[in-house]
Chains A and B, each alone.
Chain A
Amino acid sequence: MGRKLLLEHINVPGINTFAVYREKGGYRAVEKALKSMTAEDVVEEVKKSGLRGRGGAGFPTGMKWSFLAKPEGVPRYLVCNGDESEPGTFKDRYLMTYIPHALIEGMIVSSYALGAHTSYIYIRGEMMPQIRIMEKAIEEAKAAGFLGKNILGTGYDLEIYVQPGGGAYICGEETALLESLEGKRGNPRIKPPFPAVAGLYGCPTVVNNVESIAATVPIVNDGGEEYAKIGIERSTGTKLISASGNIAKPGVYEIEMGLPVEEFIFSDEYCGGMANGKRLKAVVAGGSSVPILPANLILKTMKGEPRLMTYESLADGGFVSGTAMGSGGFIVFDEDQCIVRNTYNYTRFYRHESCGQCSPCREGTGWMEKILYKIEHGHGDMSDIDLLWQVQQKIEGNTICPLGDAAAWPVAAAIRHFRDEFEWHILNPEASLQGNYGLAHYADPLVPVTE
Chain B
Amino acid sequence: MAEEVQNFKVTIDGITIEVAPGTTILNAARQIGGEIVPPAMCYYSKLEGTGGKCRTCLVKVSKGSEKDPRPMPKLVASCRTTVMDGMEVLNITSPEVVDARKAVVEMLLINHPLDCPVCDQAGECKLQDLSYEHGAEKTRYEFERRTFERIDIGDKIQLHMNRCILCYRCVYVANQLTNKREHGILFRGDHAEISTYIHEALDHDFIGNVIDVCPVGALTDKTFRFKNRVWFTKPVNAHRDCPKCTGKVTLWYKGPDVIRVTGRKDEHNEVEDFICDTCRFETKRTDDWKLEEPTKISDQSVIASNHYLQFDPPHVIQDNPVLQEANVEQLARSEKLK
- Give the B-binding residues of A (Cβ under 8 A): 168, 170, 185, 190, 351-360, 362-367, 370, 387, 394, 397-400
- How near does chain B come to A349, taking the closest CB pair, in angstroms? 11
**Residue B83, interface by CB 8 Å:** no
Contact, CB under 8 Å: B187 / A367 = no
Contact, CB under 8 Å: B188 / A355 = yes
Residue interface bits B47-82, CB-to-A below 8 A is 1, else 0: 000011111101000000000000000110100100
Q: Which of chain A's residues have a CB closer than 8 A to the CB of B184?
A: 185
Number of A-B residue pairs with CB-CB distance less than 8 Å in the complex they form: 87
Q: Which of chain B's residues have a CB closer than 8 A to the CB of A359?
A: 53-56, 104, 107-108, 165-166
Main secondary structure of the interface of A (DSSP, over half): helix
- How near does chain B come to A97, taking the closest CB pair, in angstroms? 28
Q: Which of chain B's residues have a CB closer than 8 A to the CB of A360?
A: 55, 103-104, 107
Closest to B184 in A: A185
Q: Could you tell me how many residues of chain B have their Cβ less than 8 Å away from some Cβ of chain A? A: 33
Contact, CB under 8 Å: A367 / B185 = no
Q: Which of chain B's residues have a CB closer than 8 A to the CB of A364?
A: 107
With contacts A362-B190, A370-B143 known, is A356 near B185, CB below 8 A? yes
Which residue of B104, B166, B191, B192 is within 8 Å of A398 (Cβ)?
B104
Q: Which of chain B's residues have a CB closer than 8 A to the CB of A370?
A: 143
Contact, CB under 8 Å: B104 / A357 = no
Closest 4 CB pairs of A and B: A356-B192, A394-B103, A190-B52, A354-B189
Given A357-B168, A359-B53, A399-B55, 9 other A-B residues pairs in contact with their CB atoms under 8 A: A185-B185, A353-B189, A356-B188, A357-B53, A358-B54, A362-B192, A394-B103, A398-B74, A400-B77
**Bound complex: CA A387 to CA B184 (Å):** 34
Q: Which of chain A's residues have a CB closer than 8 A to the CB of B168?
A: 357
Contact, CB under 8 Å: B111 / A363 = yes
**Residue B151, interface by CB 8 Å:** no
**Bound complex: CA A357 to CA B166 (Å):** 7
Q: Which of chain A's residues have a CB closer than 8 A to the CB of B58?
A: 398
Closest to A190 in B: B52
Main secondary structure of the interface of B (DSSP, over half): loop
**Residue B100, interface by CB 8 Å:** yes
**Bound complex: CA A125 to CA B49 (Å):** 28
Contact, CB under 8 Å: B190 / A170 = no
Q: Which of chain A's residues have a CB closer than 8 A to the CB of B53?
A: 357-359, 400
Closest to A169 in B: B188
**Bound complex: CA A397 to CA B58 (Å):** 11
Contact, CB under 8 Å: A356 / B189 = yes
**Bound complex: CA A31 to CA B325 (Å):** 70
Q: Write 24 A-B pairs (CB below 8 A) sorted by A numbering.
A: A170-B188, A185-B185, A190-B51, A351-B189, A354-B190, A355-B188, A356-B188, A359-B53, A359-B104, A359-B108, A359-B165, A360-B103, A362-B192, A363-B107, A366-B189, A367-B143, A387-B140, A394-B100, A394-B104, A397-B74, A397-B75, A398-B74, A398-B104, A399-B55
**Bound complex: CA A353 to CA B107 (Å):** 18
- How near does chain B come to A122, taking the closest CB pair, in angstroms? 18
Which residue of B52, B106, B107, B189 is within 8 Å of A352 (Cβ)?
B189
- How near does chain A come to B41, taking the closest CB pair, in angstroms? 8
- How near does chain B come to A177, taking the closest CB pair, in angstroms? 15
From A355, A363, A366, A400, residue with most partner B Cβ within 10 Å: A363
**Bound complex: CA A397 to CA B76 (Å):** 9
- How near does chain A come to B147, taking the closest CB pair, in angstroms? 14
**Residue B197, interface by CB 8 Å:** no
Q: Which of chain B's residues have a CB closer than 8 A to the CB of A354?
A: 188-190
Contact, CB under 8 Å: B104 / A362 = no
- How near does chain A come to B181, taking the closest CB pair, in angstroms? 10
With contacts A394-B107, A397-B74 known, is A358 near B55, CB below 8 A? yes
**Bound complex: CA A397 to CA B184 (Å):** 27
Contact, CB under 8 Å: B189 / A355 = yes
**Bound complex: CA A351 to CA B111 (Å):** 14
Q: Which of chain B's residues have a CB closer than 8 A to the CB of A397?
A: 74-75
Closest to A397 in B: B74
**Bound complex: CA A355 to CA B188 (Å):** 5
Closest to B106 in A: A394
Contact, CB under 8 Å: B190 / A351 = yes
Q: Which of chain A's residues have a CB closer than 8 A to the CB of B54?
A: 358-359
Q: Which of chain B's residues have a CB closer than 8 A to the CB of A362?
A: 107, 166, 189-190, 192
Closest to A396 in B: B74
Contact, CB under 8 Å: B107 / A168 = no
- How near does chain B come to A193, taking the closest CB pair, in angstroms? 11
Q: Which of chain B's residues have a CB closer than 8 A to the CB of A387?
A: 140
- How near does chain B come to A13, taking the closest CB pair, in angstroms? 43
**Bound complex: CA A397 to CA B60 (Å):** 12
- How near does chain B come to A156, taking the closest CB pair, in angstroms? 37
